[in-house]
Chain A
Amino acid sequence: MTHETLGYRVFRRATLSLLTLFVCAPLVVMVTTAVKPLDQVQSGFRWLPTEPTLRPFVDMWSTVPLARYFVNSVVVAVISTVLSVTVAVLAAYAVSRWRFPGRETFRLAVLSTQMFPGILFLLPLFLLFVMVDRGTGLTLVGTRTGLVITYLTFALPYAIWMLVSYFETIPRGLDDAAKVDGCGPLRLLVSVLLPAARPVIVAVSIFSFMLAWGEVLFASVLTSEQTRTVSVGLQSYASEANVYWNQVMAASLVVSAPIVVAFLLLQRHITAGMTAGAVK
């Protein structure tokens, strides 16, 4: 097509090489450090381990209670993902299929929450949780329930936005046909819209799971030692007197790999929603 000048080709190659180096350096450090024995990590940096070992992957479970953190993270992320996708589907259904007073206000309000700095409502939320505890006996501070409730809302703006735009593309002819058959609004949603929206629902779920899995600020304040998630727990390796960097890297790899792979496999679906809003 276009003839490429020499200068342009050099620019292109150089850019791609530098970016690849920049992106890969920490990833390489992470992977190679995870298979080094501790004395090699503590005696100056080396790119490659002289005697690769898988011991860090074994030891990391006993240095800090990683298994407990892991279970906490899985429980919190799975439950909050399932609930937040459900809540988002219901809201998106209302916004896409009905015109009602307050519709635009709702959409804008939900979008605007993305602008709020987390620090703004961290403390009030903490105190609100304490009040709920006193009033109802439902403990929200230091429990996984409190974290689930908090994370539930984090994915809502993106999830509702994406689901609404997808629902809008599903032809209303399907709705009408179902209505003629006597479907109520809920049946219509479950048996007509949801099956059609499966790809978006998967994408939204991954996104929501990623948010819950990686969140640090609220997890650091709202969890106790018993309910700590990996996002905060991973730092306990570093606060030990002896920093087990090889185990930190091994643990980081193990807790990130599934989510990174899921994201990369589904990247087209997930990123479609993020870019659609801006490109339109």
Chain B
Amino acid sequence: MSISADSARSGVPAAPGTGDRPAGVHGRAGRARKRHRRTPYLFLLPALALELFVHFGPMLAGLVMSCLKLTQYQLAQWWAAPWAGLGNYRVVLDLDQPVGASLFKSFLITAAVTVIVVATAWTLGVAGAVSLQRMKRGRGMLRTLFLVPYALPVFAAVITWRFLLQRDNGMLNHVLVDQLGLLPGNAFYLIGPNSFWSLCVVEIWREWPFAFLMIMAALQSIPDELYEASSMDGAGPWRQLRRITLPMIAPVNQVLILVLALRTFRDFETPYVLFGGSAPDQARLISLEIYQNSFLTFNFGLGSAMSVLLLLFLMLVTGGYLAVTRRRTLDA
């Protein structure tokens, strides 16, 4: 975008080359120019103020708090709490202590859930979108149906899952034990080792429509001629899927996988609602771990240190991911 085009668009007179103007005109134009320069900032001001107050201010405060010995007694004057330096970080990262060990465990669980959820949600999204691609009747209806989990408020959807995963009166045990006879007796899904898989399934249910949506949009931008030409050459649907469809949606995958992974990794609401506040060890995602460390044990300094580490980790992974995938797209 060149400077002259910009100024023409915004109505600001081009800056250079005005030296030979009469002084009066120059002064008035100068004032007008100043006002014009201020205008965009005035329009931006409310958004900027809100972002500073709700996001960036608290983020900085959180950074400071992560270096304080902060408990509920000092909350009224948190800035006066004793300085802990990097002490909180040392505690949080010390795997031999219960706090560090528990955080590390929830980190591993979160990573595992993220990998499983992203892989499955993506696969289901592709399968669903490709299956609907050239359907004539009922396509709009199925598309709408598949988007319902995405549109449903989290708390309503997840609380329904919580009900159907109940041991005694839930749907899943009824189907698996009574109707199909696959299990000898009712199993627990919301406590113990099964809770991990329950969490994964609910996350997949909520996330796959997003993958489906993005891939549907990507499929629409593939020209029909590509398929026509290849079927003239005798290519069957499987080959077209491998040779045309999958390569053509690759650019979308880059963003899609990142977004899915970030959303799952920092998710709080699904386990919070699914397990009713405190999740079992096997399904405690990292956000919930931090929440429990901050608001149940009232150790806010530790909670803040954990949050900062989480953000650093997400930034590193995002940066690394983008660098690697960019290079790959450039090479191709």
Contact = CB atoms under 8 A, between A and B. Distances in A.
Nearest to A156: B47
B128 A127 contact: no
A185 interface: yes
Nearest to B237: A8
B269 A256 contact: no
B17 interface: no
A101 to B, nearest CB: 9
Contacts of B304: 123-124
Interface residues of B, number: 108
B152 A256 contact: yes
B303 A123 contact: yes
A113 interface: yes
Contacts of B157: 26, 256
A41 B146 CA distance: 27
B153 A256 contact: yes
Interface string A86-107: 1110110111011110010010
B50 A156 contact: yes
Contacts of B82: none
Interface in B44-81: 44, 46-48, 50-51, 53-59, 61-62, 65, 75-76, 78
- A contact patch SS: helix
Contacts of B124: 19
B325 interface: no
Interface residues of A, number: 103
Interface in A103-118: 103, 106, 109-110, 113, 115-118
Interface in A125-164: 125, 127-128, 130, 134, 149-150, 152-153, 156, 160
A231 B287 contact: no
Contact of A23 (B76, B149, B227): B149
A279 B217 contact: yes
Contact of B154 (A24, A29, A94, A214): A214
Interface stretch (B4-12, B26-34, B94-102, B192-200): B4-12
Interface string A241-254: 00001001100110
A122 B50 CA distance: 15
Given A1-B231, A99-B10, A106-B44, A217 B269 contact: yes
Given A29-B171, A98-B40, A264 B9 contact: no
A45 B169 contact: yes
A277 interface: yes
A197 interface: no
Interface string B281-293: 0000001001100
Interface in A229-280: 230-232, 234-235, 238-239, 245, 248-249, 252-253, 255-256, 259-260, 263-264, 267, 271, 274-279
7 contacts: A3-B231, A15-B131, A99-B7, A119-B307, A134-B76, A239-B276, A275-B217
Interface of A: 1-5, 7-8, 11-12, 15-16, 19-20, 22-27, 29-30, 33, 41-47, 86-88, 90-91, 93-95, 97-100, 103, 106, 109-110, 113, 115-125, 127-128, 130, 134, 149-150, 152-153, 156, 160, 172, 179, 185, 210, 213-214, 216-217, 220-221, 230-232, 234-235, 238-239, 245, 248-249, 252-253, 255-256, 259-260, 263-264, 267, 271, 274-279
Interface of B: 1, 6-7, 9-11, 37, 39-44, 46-48, 50-51, 53-59, 61-62, 65, 75-76, 78, 124, 127-128, 131-132, 134-135, 142, 144-157, 159-164, 166, 168-171, 173-174, 205, 209, 213-214, 216-218, 221, 224, 227-228, 231, 236-238, 240, 251-252, 255-256, 262, 266, 268-269, 272-273, 276, 287, 290-291, 294-295, 300, 303-304, 307-308, 310-311, 314-315, 318
